[in-house]
Amino acid sequence: MGAMNFSVGIEKIGVYPCSLSLPMSVVCDARGRDITDIRDIMMIDERSLNPLWEDPVTMAVNAANSILTDEDRQHIELLVVASESGVDYEKPLSTWVQRYTGLAPHCRNFEVKHACYGGTAAVQMAAHWLASGFSRDGKALVISTDQSRAHFGKPWEFVMGAGSAAVLLSNQPRILEFELGKNGYWTNEVSDLIRPTGKIETGNSETSLVSYLDALEATFDHFLCRVPEASDYDGYFQRHVYHMPFGGMAWRAHKTLLRRSQELSTKEAWANFQKKGLAALQHVRRMGATYSSSTFIGLVGLVEGTPDMQSGERVSMFSYGSGCCAEFYCGTICPEAKAEVSKAKLGEKLEARRPLSIAEYEAIENQRLDWADCDNYEVPLDGLDGWYERAYSGRHLLTFKGLNEFYRQYEWS
């Protein structure tokens, strides 16, 4: 079988945004920061936070189970879980996910790590496996799942977050069909952001932002080597999704590439961004940094929030991962895209979260820090005004119970 015989792309996307939220007004009041800097420049209004009975495994499973049918489960032959929030240095997240999503045993599975690029790396590998034709009617499930560490009082505390996105890939795409071969990628070792221990997430945020923009231009240059007609950036692409460590970074990225091919004022560039990419920020603004998930959550927001979007429109996708590796690729919108992304009900899930006070937020993060590297503990399900009973009990969501001699314990709510 020759490659490129099939359409390959995203059939479904499911998002699990956690069940708690931290309004930026609360953090800004506590830290003495002007909220207009966060809301208007960083473009973030609130961030997601997971309670103590959620972890990267439960978020991944709950995202996937929100979209999978029994038929999907039988056809999935490749499962890749991307995370920089791994819970074990040996055992992959993907084995727990395979078990608790009920996937068939004839399923390759593994975990990948490359900061915020990991999810895109996994999607690209899975898409090209499908395009080979050797998968027959197989499908691939790629899940990005991450949570921030504690950052009390740090400048970047405002933009952190948590959540998971599950992307089902097949030769019957219903959201986005990839234009395989139209890819530009770039690698450059840089120690911008790191997680050197089980408790610490640190680095140089300014270095990371510069590296992001360097990678953006370098991946686009590589893309142009393969697709020279894309030098007319505004004409070639109808819509755009950029990796979003925070929403405002997408606006910076768009200006950078747009101005390579035409001279525009800031006002003109902003009007272009409003039309072609601003809708991608709508859910990210409410979740904060979602790491590898951000481009896929951005795609959901773009499709949902663009009333005049048409089937066949070309969408550019840019993914950046600290360390670093980045990729610029594209796809076309499928006829069923709007109907399919509406099933994610992401807006409803975001509205259903419980807002936290600063004291509640700090207590959760401090407890998580205290448990890091412990061998035995049980997660209490009380507190937060009975939130577990109100939001979890009887809903068949996977929850984290704690550790027994380092062995992780899970149960259904």
Residues with catalytic roles? 84, 116, 243
Report the sign of the C-alpha dihedral through residues 204, 82, 136, 108, in that order.
positive
Q: What sign has the CA pseudo-torsion 100, 103, 109, 112?
A: negative
Name the 3-class secondary structure at 186.
strand
Please, which residues bridge with residue 110 across strands?
A: 80
Neighbours of 188 (CB within 10 A): 12
CA distance 283 to 299: 10
Nearest CA-CA partner of 160 in 47, 35, 56: 47
The answer to whether the Cα torsion of 69, 70, 76, 79 is positive or negative is positive
Residue in the block written with tokens 């915020």:
116
Side-chain-facing half-sphere of 219: CA atoms under 13 Å: 31
Q: Which residues contact 362 (CB under 8 A, 6 or more apart)?
A: 152
> What is the amino acid identity at position 217?
E
For residues 196, 121, 151, 149, the Cα torsion angle rounded to the nearest 10 degrees is -70
DSSP conformation class of 114:
B
Give alpha helix (H) positions in 162-204.
none
Question: Which residues face 316 on adjacent strands?
Answer: 240, 330
CB 132 within 8 A of CB 1: yes
Biggest CA–CA distance in the chain, Å, is 62
DSSP-assigned letter for residue 78: E
User: CA 217 → CA 159, 183, 326, distances in Å?
Assistant: 24, 13, 10
Measured CA to CA, the distance from residue 266 to residue 255 in angstroms comes to: 8
